[in-house]
Structure 1
């Protein structure tokens, strides 16, 4: 379906989805967001939790900012996931939703996005590297099928929309 979408429509979808998501997320109570984030982390990091690989997060807070969704939160781990509203994190990861989807799907490496200035890491560099390495250790194959397929489809959809949107730009430049 997305492959047949006109390039103008693809550009509009890429432009409008963050605005819609931003509005939708603004009406969701933080407690519900925190519960969802906690559940997602528990599924994503199940193996690391079982292998006791998260000790470096005890007493440390990692902020995540999804810039185009205006979504910010902090996470820590102390034998369970802790999620709070932004306060005073040790390290902060900031990116737009597309960059984060690409990382989650394994389509893009966080280092590449960092050097392309699409992913910003501020604060405790050592903790930031440990978190980045933890994220890279997540194997999509170990995720529940519905979650893995959702992330993969979302990444493919975003790539298609970006390609279509880029086609519009190339067509516009060719006509000049």
Structure 2
């Protein structure tokens, strides 16, 4: 009974937490979200910007849809990050927040999520692959400590909850 209760609680936490975050997030003006996102991207991808690795994003828009948070936006890089509401992106990445966080923490491979249908990539396939490869090239250990530790702790919690939420199978020993 305890294992079943624990699994149900873990499953409910995985489903309920994004809903709890979604409500206050919806109250934040998009202009403030855009400012925070552009500053975060600038900080996270500064080495790639300096090395010219982001040049392929010039005049191209990548949409991000965090489905369970109902957070939708597009980004582009023309020497600085631009963030806008969804309009007409060349490629769209869609997933739930937990999956995106696991990818960010390098605890889950985007290809695996794609084939499990937990990550959707629609539109310009070549641009989508370039974005995916860019994300995979980020040295997680080089991220600023507060961001790295926060993402790491959240990802570890999600992994534990996902393991707890899986039903356990008890195999009976067959008589000898």
TM-score (ref. length: structure 1):
0.90
| Aligned equivalents of 2:164, 2:106: Cα separation in 1 | 21
Unaligned runs of 5+ in 2: 172-176
- The yes-or-no answer on 1:79 pairing with 2:76 is no
Alpha-carbon RMSD across the aligned residues, in angstroms, is: 1.5
> Would you say how many aligned residue pairs link Structure 1 and Structure 2?
167
Aligned to 2:174: none
| Aligned equivalents of 1:56, 1:149: Cα separation in 2 | 30
| Aligned equivalents of 2:110, 2:159: Cα separation in 1 | 17
| Aligned equivalents of 1:24, 1:165: Cα separation in 2 | 26
- 1:107-126 equivalence runs, <5 A: 107-126=107-126
- 1:97-116 equivalence runs, <5 A: 97-116=97-116
Aligned to 2:35: 35
- The yes-or-no answer on 1:95 pairing with 2:95 is yes
- 1:90-169 equivalence runs, <5 A: 90-166=90-166, 169=167
Aligned to 1:56: 56
Helix, strand or coil at the partner of 1:120:
strand
Unaligned runs of 5+ in 1: none
Q: Which has the larger radius of gyration?
A: 2
Q: Deviations over 1:54-97 (max 9, x none)?
A: 11101000000001111100000010000000000000000111
Q: CA deviation at 1:6?
A: 3.1
After superposing on structure 2, the runs of 4+ consecutive aligned residues of structure 1 that deviate more than 4 Å are none
Q: CA deviation at 1:25?
A: 1.2
